[in-house]
Amino acid sequence: MAENPYHAILLDTEFKDPSFIEKFKELGRKNSRMNPWCLIKVEVPESRIGELIEEGQKLLAGNTKYYFHAYRNNELIVVFPEKIFRVTPNRDSWIELVSYGLSLGIPEEQLDFKPCRVEDEEY
């Protein structure tokens, strides 16, 4: 039976060990228009999502303004250095998540978690 993989959006500058990203199959890259970083989309097998979350959270570069997210089907996982949220792609489920991000000083426009569904991917 084939796995149902997650896709994750990672920043090229957010991890203490940038080679962490190389552990996963890269699906695409997109330069940020407003910020000096590159968004990297990777595929994460279902059997390795725990590794992505646990190891990735430990490697977030100490700056509380960093996070990454993974998604599949009706599931969205957002990982901050100190907290993990499991919500849906529906914005109505993001109230606590967005409030938490804002409390860390993350600009609201950076709390859009795009893409958060495979069908919304552009790269």
The string of pLDDT tens digits covering residues 42-52 is 999 999 999 99
Q: Give 10-residue mean pLDDT values along the chain (123 residues).
A: 86 90 95 82 97 96 87 97 96 97 94 93 88
* DSSP string of the chain, one letter each residue: -----EEEEEETTSBSSGGGGGGSEEEEEEE-SSSS-EEEEEEE-GGGHHHHHHHHHHHB-S-TT--EEEEETTEEEEE-SS-EEEE-SSGGGGHHHHHHHHHTT--GGG-S----SGGG---
Q: Report residue 59: phi and psi, to 5°.
A: -90, -5
List b or e across 21-36, with b for residues whose CB sees 16 or more CB atoms inside 10 angstroms: beebeeeeeeeeeeee
Looking at residue 2, its pLDDT comes to 57
